[in-house]
Structure 1
Amino acid sequence: MECSFLFDLAVIAENYGQMTGVLAGFAFTALVLLMTPTQAAERAARSSGDGRATLALFSSFIALVLATLIYSVLAGDTDEQARPRAATLEVIDGLVFGLAVISLLQGLYLIMRSANIDASTVKIARFMAVVIFPSMVIYFVAQGASDTVALRAVAGGGACVPHVPVLGVWLTAAAASVLSISLSTRAQRVMAVHSTRSGTVAPILVMGASVAGAIAAGEVSTYSPGFLMSPTVQNLYLTVVAVLVTFVGLMFSAAGATSARERTRPDELASKSDSVMK
């Protein structure tokens, strides 16, 4: 199927596979450091629930390993006639990769929050984890869908002109707006009630969605080389991706909210830490 404007998806997938492998190594290293006796003692002294960073990093590690696997499968699909199938796999793999990065950033934010780092840096990290990157993930998947749009046009005798589906742009804007509002003071007061539960459920949801995405990618890779996602399925998939990623972002936003009971003063934390170390 001639479409010279499209990039070589196999080469791009190989690069993504290398990047996800490196990020998985970073997540694993962070997990090992968090399991050291000193870090365990500090977490035991805190009542703020920052130990949830471990779960966020673990879910990110699992998702990144799966992303490395499915991108490796896509990188091996070098048949020119299999470009439609590769374009379909591209949008599935992009969701797994995106969820992994969001969870990784959430874990990084939680670590930074508990490490007495400059407040402005922590706020920026949280904004990136809750608003910027979830919105980018939705647009990233929508941008990947532009390849299916171009290939579908070629199959119908039209010109190969990739363009991002309009639905994807609107979904990205809507998600960014909702997630930005979730960080407002009033919203945070309401969401603080669900902080502990959200900090547990969100990483589990990331792992579950990543496993489902990996299974779906494996299934699609067995289809015929000319398999291409239909417009209806594409729009439905983009909508599901937007809802899922926005929901994960909202739960991570709630996980970072702190109630009045959780705002322990630094001197109290220090005294608790000293008592545990003794």
Structure 2
Amino acid sequence: MSSIRLLGARLVFGGALLGIWELVTRSGWVDRDFLPEPTAIASWLGEALSDGSIHRNAIATGMAMFLAFVIGSASGILVGVLFGQFQRVAAVVSPFIYFLNALPRVALAPLLILYLGISIWSKVSLGVSIVFFVLLLNTVAGLRSVDPDHVKLAKLNRFSARQVFWKVSLPTAVPTIFAGLKLSAVYSLLGVVVSEMVASTSGLGQLIIYNTNTFNIAGVYGTLFILAMLALILTSCMDIAERKLLSWQRFS
């Protein structure tokens, strides 16, 4: 199927879903207090865009999410590379890593807010706590997936340890690392929104809580739509970057 036909099919399918949704709510089969019509959600989005509330809160969430993604990804990949290179250290530390990764992040949110205050850094830190472990584990898994025969062949060709890492180990691990980056793009948003829902002065998570407390269900669904679109944009950007950077795999 061509890209144009695929896009057309998706638009038709999405339009049909929205039409059924509108029909179900307008006919009274579902209470509008629980599931508002798509037109009501669109009306709220128009008002929120015109008064600037979406822009302000989306920028606050986006900035915290970007920082959480960059800091968590960079630190997770770095520590993962160190663990991959120094396996004895990894064997000692790994039980503690698994223990920390098992902690529920929602339970950490109040503590982080207590330590860092109601600021951008409490949101960033919660996002980092998720992204870091995703990239750490994916990086270690990618480095461990290297074929030992490839390493032996590189050493027979008198590759130094640094050359083996850059020319054999890292290229093999890159697809697994990218899989972690794609997950982390969404998880960083998840961590930030959870922190905003616990306590925040701005952000899309705080906007969801405000609309819930004021019984503005259309506003809740509208904010969820913005979050879904933001996550879709993030994953699409990661897909494009992956295709560009891993184009060599098609010829390997």
**TM-score normalised to the size of structure 1?**
0.30
**TM-score normalised to the size of structure 2?**
0.32
Q: Which has the larger radius of gyration?
A: 2
Instruction: Give the helix-richer structure, 1 or 2.
Output: 2
